[in-house]
Amino acid sequence: MMPLAPHEARTLLRLARISIEDRVRGDGSLDRALASLETAPALLEVRASFVTLHTREAGGERLRGCIGSLEAVDPLVNNVTNNARQAAFHDPRFPPLTEAELARLVVSISVLTPLSPVPGPASIVPGRDGVLLERGSHRSVFLPEVATDQGWSVEELLENLALKAGLKRPDWRGATLSTFETEVIGEE
């Protein structure tokens, strides 16, 4: 995966923010921004992404939403704008974003490499790899920075993935594991 050029990264961040603002205000700004978009081949590549939203609060930033896709099915620019709206208004952990929060909003985008099945935990590097755990109908994912932020070892990462998937801690054993890497771009 080729890294995004600085102007491509800025464009994606701007479009993610505009897609959220347009949804709040209903002013058609996203359609206008997309219509005037300079064609950048990297933004039109079929790639997957996650959009993470934080709000600036007294004492730091607070998670406000995170939604993404693991499978690349549409152009990156569409994937990012859709995921930005989903993170802002449809993350089940949070109420829909309000106009009052827009001024405090901080947007981050993780552009994913394709998923790669791994034989087991020895192939996983916390902080470098995002991990998808699948066992039966249970599925969960963490972006690479989660393990770093939490200070988790590989086993702790896998145990927490199992819990997130609705399983018991040791149930990661026997699960199918896949990894991916990300290019993270963000405001600030």
98-112 as b/e: b if 16+ CB within 10 A? eeebeeebbbbbbbb
pLDDT at position 64: 96
Q: What are the tens digits of pLDDT across the range 169-179?
A: 999 999 999 99
Predicted model pTM: 0.90
The verdict on 44 and 124 lying in the same domain is no
pLDDT at position 38: 74
The verdict on 148 and 136 lying in the same domain is yes
pLDDT at position 40: 79
The verdict on 104 and 159 lying in the same domain is no
Q: What are the tens digits of pLDDT across the range 146-155?
A: 999 999 999 9
Domain boundary among 112, 134, 158: 112
The verdict on 19 and 85 lying in the same domain is yes
The verdict on 101 and 120 lying in the same domain is no
Q: Which residues of the chain are under the pLDDT cut of 50?
A: none
Strand partners, 185: 109
Q: Is residue 53 part of a domain?
A: yes
Residue with tokens 């990300």: 182
Q: What are the tens digits of pLDDT across the range 112-128?
A: 999 999 999 999 999 99
The verdict on 64 and 87 lying in the same domain is yes
pLDDT at position 1: 64
Q: Is residue 1 part of a domain?
A: no
Q: Is residue 86 part of a domain?
A: yes
Torsion of CA 46, 69, 77, 29, to 10 degrees: 150
pLDDT at position 184: 95
The verdict on 22 and 74 lying in the same domain is yes
| Boundaries of domain holding 18 | 6-112
